[in-house]
Structure formats: C-alpha cells, structure tokens
Structure 1
Amino acid sequence: MSAGHGLTQQEGLLAKGAVVPWQAGMDMRGWYPIFAQRDARTGEVSVCWRDLGQLPFSEPFFVNTLARQPHEERRVCHTPLAALGTFDDGLAPDAFIFHVSRCGSTLLTQLLATLPQCVVLSEPPVIDSLLRLHHDGMPAGDSIALLRQAMLALGQRRTGGETHCFIKFDCWHIHNLALLRQAFPDTPCLFLYREPQAVLASHQRQRGPQMIPGMLHPALLPLPAHQLAPGDHDGYAGVVLSSLLAAARPHAAAGQLQLINYNQLPDMAWDQLLPRLRITVTAGQLQAMRERGGVHAKYGTAFHGDAPPRTASGLPGMAAQLRAGYQALEDLRIGN
C-alpha cells in the first residue's frame, strides 16, 4: 500500500519517546518490537522498538501496556531487521489464539495473564506490520523467518519464572493462519467464536477497526464482493464476520484449530485448557483466575452481561444469514 491506513497512523503514535540510537551488538533485552516499516525512499525495512523494562503485560491489549508506561520513561529505538534475530532464547508460543472479536478472547488472555509463569501478548502490532510487508511483496521465506523472530522477541523472559507464552492475534489474522503456522508449525491454534448477533451488537455499540472500511490493509481482510449502501456499517460488519467464520472452517475441519465457544468461558480455561497445555497452577493462582473471570475483560469492572442490541437495528435478520457459518463451527466443535 502506498497510502497509510488507520493502523499505520496509530503505530506512529506508539513511537513517541526519547530516541536511543541503535548500535550493532546493542543489548535489546527489555526492548519490544512495536512495528516494522519500509522506507518509501530507500526501500529499507526497519523495526521500531520500545524499552518496557520490567513493565508487565497485564492490560487487555499490548498497546494498553505501552500507553500505561509513563511518558518520561518511554524510550524508542529504530533498528535494522537483523536486530529481531537476537532473541533465540525467547519463549516459543504455547498456543496461538485466533478469534472473531467480541467473543471472549480478551477474557481468555486476561485469565492467562494472571499466572506469573505465563507471558501473554494480546494483539501486538508488530505482527500486523510484518503481515502487511508480506502482502506488499516480501518473499514468503523472509516473512516466516521474521514472524518467528518477532514472536521470540515478544516471548522474552524478564523475571526468570516465565515458562509459557501465548500470542493472541487480531481477528482478521485468521486469513493468514497458514502463513503464521509456518513460523511455529507445532504450536496449537485456538479459535474463539460467538453467536453472530452478539458479536454484531457489540460492534454496533463500539466498532473495532476491522468493521470500518479502509482501516485495514485490504490483503489482510479479503472480503467477497458485496453491494452495500454508503455508510452501512452494520452491513459491512456482517460481511466481515461472515469472512472470519468462513476462513476458520476449513482449518477447523482439518484439525488445525481447537474451537472454543464464548459460552464455554471462563470455566474451560482452567478445566480443559490448562491441563491440555500442561500448565500447573497453585490453589492461589486458580483463585486469582476465577476472580478475574468475574469482571469485564476489557474494563476490569463487574460484568453483568452485554446490553441488548437496538430494537430497530436489523441485526436479527443479518445474524440469521450468518447462522450457517456459525453452526458449521458448532457442529465441528461438538463432533470432536
């Protein structure tokens, strides 16, 4: 893409801070890759890093942790791509988390983040930036190597007690699952989804970037041909959600995704997921997970359920058209 879209503009805001010049051999421990970008004039690709020191990833999203860092402590460094390859001792991901958005994926990551032995990265923007570079012409072999290096850099051990790592991708990254799996072929992949009307209603209240035309690199969110009236954001959200459900189905049918329905949370996190991933927790840690499961995943307030959709929204009819895609995943989940 030649023109910057909404997410690239957001990434620029993340690069605010005191600039630290990069030097070959520089110790990058405590630094985290934020995004990669290609210089329009020279064609060279660089990586922007932020020094987070010991700041834990306890917020619902990676960018929330960046925003929590005091302004006077923010340090930024721009490096060549080669700097990504200096974290061979980083934790390999124990699981990749894919999702359709507004379906409990943030709740799951927040439950895991209560465990001190787990490093949980929720939608780190460097992944999206590397995928954009891939779709703009970077050779597949280079893209896979860089994605692997970036994930190992994200999986840094900072306290010495970390033993497990989880990466939650943006919802549109399900369209790139085949490429992402090549970075870590043996890593289990989870896919969270939810009844379509509830997802659409949540986006009607507060739209995610994927539900606004033009916010994403078009290759990252391939959509079928559609004819919508200008400004029909609800209709566009329906097309996007349909594409996410459809993209997951063949991978799930091939046994490449563990399907998790929103209504299985939070209990399945400690009843099924932890044992499957061989994560042992103490009684105190389990209690902390249970307490976190009772509050809103994004806001930390008591959760009493979502508000119903607006009565004149037309969402029930739209959700009915998506029911087949949702039910196909349900049939696969229940049949396994």
Structure 2
Amino acid sequence: MLNERQLLSGQAVAAETLTSLRNWFPVALQGREIVWRHVQDRFSASFFTDTLQQQNPSQRYLCRTDFDWLKRLEPGLMPSAFIFHTSRCGSTLLTQLLSTLSCCIVMSEPPVINAFLHMHQAEPESSGGSANLRQLILALGQQRSLEETHFFIKLDSWHTQFLPIFRAAFPDTPCWFLYREPEAVLASHRRQRGPQMVPGMIASLAAETLEAGDLDGYCAKVLAGFFEAALANVEHLQLINYRQLPDILWQDLLPRQGLDCTLEQLERMRQRAGFHAKDKSICFSTDAPPISSHPMLQQRVAPLYEQLEQRRSRDQ
C-alpha cells in the first residue's frame, strides 16, 4: 500500500488550467482540499493504490481543488454495489474477478473514502455529510467508454460501522457483506497482520485496551466489532460467506445486476480464481488453520458469526 507521501507524489498541475476533470480521480483530502491524480489506465490491480504505484513516474500528475469542483464533473456511473467485509474473507478475490469483466469499473479500497469518513467522524458538521460522500464516489465512477456499465466499490474492513452514511448517499445501492469463520481470519492475520489488526494503526478503530503484546486478543475484539456492525445493519446487507466464493458471483450476484456472463468470461473468472487475489503469479492455497485459537474468539466472536450464518440461511 502507498503511504500518503507516495500517494501525493507527482507533478503539480494548476486546477485553473484544466478544461475538465476527466480521467482525474480523487485520492486524498487535505484540509478542505481534494487531491486528484490523473490516471489513464483502468483500475485493475488488487487495490486502488496499486494502480497508482504502477504508474510511470513521468505520468504522475496531481491537482488540488476545493469541494465545489465535484459539481463540475460529468456524471459518473451510479455504484452497482458496495462491498463491505471483515478482511481476509475473499473480498479482494471478488474485486479481481469483477475486474476481468470489461463492463465493470472496480475500485478496491480507494483511500479518499477512508479520508472522508475520518473527517466526517471528527467533524460531522463541516464534512458536508452524505452529499459530499456521494459526489466523491461518483467522481470515482467515471466511464472511460460506453462499454462500462457497472461500478463496484470495495470498502475497507472497518467501514461497515459507517454503513448508514452510505445508505443516505445511495439508498438504492445493494450492499454486500463478506465474512469468514473467525479462526480462519485470525490464521491469516497471524501469518501477516493487516494494519486494522495492529493497535493504533487505524484511527477509527477503538478496540478496548488489552494486555501488552496480545495481538490475537486485539484481532478478536476488532473482528467482533466488524461482526457487530454487520448485525446492526443486517437488514441492508446481502450476506456472503467465504465458502460461497467464487461461484456465487456468477450464479447469484451478477444476475441480480442484470449481467449474464459468456462462457469466455466465466472461464477468465475461473482462471483468475485459481491464483492468489493479491498476487497473480502465486497459485491460490488456503490459509493453514491456527494451531491454537484465542479464548475471546470463542467467547465473543463465534456467537456473532453464528448469528450471521443463521440470518444468511434465513434469507436464502
């Protein structure tokens, strides 16, 4: 992932010299300014920031505007679905499968949304609320061709708690929630911990203080928060268990979007599913189960997982 310094590196262009913001995408917020990067290529990498990192340094251009500039954009596609998740549950695989379809714009964890939610959490009155969130998301949904008809956004794993503001901005957009057995999520984070599972790394996470060095306990509490947020908003979510991937995409999710895949498209998705979601050069293999669990995982997280499973079974 890019840090902010890398995200904001590039040749500055004065916004006043631009005739339009076509192919300019919001990447960060600084005070009351939006920072934009010019991106000519499709966002097909595993994460939004990976596409930026892959840009030739000579083609990295930045400009800064105030929020009023959002109104100058040509209307982008309405989001087809928001992808919420618990981390390490197949959400990146899902976006990579969607990216194989040329009709789909796929934005995987664009950092500007996290920046906006952080600002909204700290200053709800001055953030502009759901109206500004709506405009930022539409700015991410710019069409590069008429072939692009659908627009999917994968959010960060800690964003489920903010689902009400997404519903206010886009009341009719489906919201998917991917989750997985708690033991499997813990096993993945033991192998390589994501920033959300390291105390102090993600400002919007307020897991209770734990004994020094109890990273598994912190992971369990954060995971419990993700499950609790999903259950609090479950009437707005389509629940998807990791075990249903990848078939649920073409058997259920895409048909609901009015997309019937050709045999060639299905084959491309199946081939992509055989490789690691974050590295196309590595064949996929499941995470080894944890040698030992954590008491909090069984006491607090497992019952929440079972509640989600019961709700998913009821809704099928």
| Fold match (TM-score > 0.5) | yes
Q: Deviations over 1:285-311 (max 9, x none)?
A: 1211111111111111211221333x3
- Provide the residue aligned with 1:208 in structure 2: 194
Q: Larger deviation: 189-198 or 300-309?
A: 300-309
- Provide the residue aligned with 1:250 in structure 2: 232
- Provide the residue aligned with 1:41 in structure 2: none
Q: Specify whether residues 57 and 179 from structure 1 end up closer, same or farther in structure 2 by C-alpha distance, changes over 3 A only.
A: same
2:293 to 291, 307, 315: 315
Q: Deviations over 1:31-67 (max 9, x none)?
A: 11001121xxxxxx001111001x1111111011111
Counterpart CA distance in 2 for 1:176 and 1:222 is 14
Matched, 1:131 2:131: no
How many pairs were matched up? Answer: 313
**Aligned pairs (5 A) from 1:167-316:** 167-217=153-203, 220-223=204-207, 226-252=208-234, 255-300=235-280, 301-309=282-290, 311=291, 314-316=292-294
- Provide the residue aligned with 2:13 in structure 1: 20
- Provide the residue aligned with 1:56 in structure 2: 42
Unaligned runs of 5+ in 1: 1-6, 39-44
**How far 1:316 sits from its partner (Å)?**
5.0
- Provide the residue aligned with 1:103 in structure 2: 89
Partner SS for 2:15: coil
Counterpart CA distance in 1 for 2:157 and 2:214 is 21
Q: Deviations over 1:232-257 (max 9, x none)?
A: 211111110001001101211xx210
**How far 1:216 sits from its partner (Å)?**
1.8
Matched, 1:119 2:99: no
**How far 1:84 sits from its partner (Å)?**
1.9
Task: Report if the CA contact (8 A) 2:178-2:240 is conserved.
Answer: yes
Q: Deviations over 1:120-149 (max 9, x none)?
A: 001000101111111121427812111101
Partner SS for 1:181: helix
Unaligned runs of 5+ in 2: none
Identity %: 48
Counterpart CA distance in 2 for 1:164 and 1:86 is 22
**How far 1:102 sits from its partner (Å)?**
0.2
- Provide the residue aligned with 1:154 in structure 2: 140
Task: Report if the CA contact (8 A) 1:87-1:149 is conserved.
Answer: no
- Provide the residue aligned with 1:4 in structure 2: none
Q: Larger deviation: 228-237 or 322-331?
A: 228-237
- Provide the residue aligned with 1:3 in structure 2: none
**How far 1:78 sits from its partner (Å)?**
1.2
Q: Larger deviation: 24-33 or 228-237?
A: 24-33
Task: Report if the CA contact (8 A) 1:89-1:152 is conserved.
Answer: yes
Counterpart CA distance in 1 for 2:209 and 2:37 is 42
Task: Report if the CA contact (8 A) 2:7-2:52 is conserved.
Answer: yes
What root-mean-square deviation, in Å, do the aligned CA atoms of Structure 1 and Structure 2 show? 1.7
Aligned structure 1 segments of 4 or more residues deviating by more than 4 angstroms:
none
TM-score by length of 1: 0.89
Counterpart CA distance in 2 for 1:87 and 1:271 is 35
- Provide the residue aligned with 2:311 in structure 1: 332
Counterpart CA distance in 2 for 1:111 and 1:272 is 14
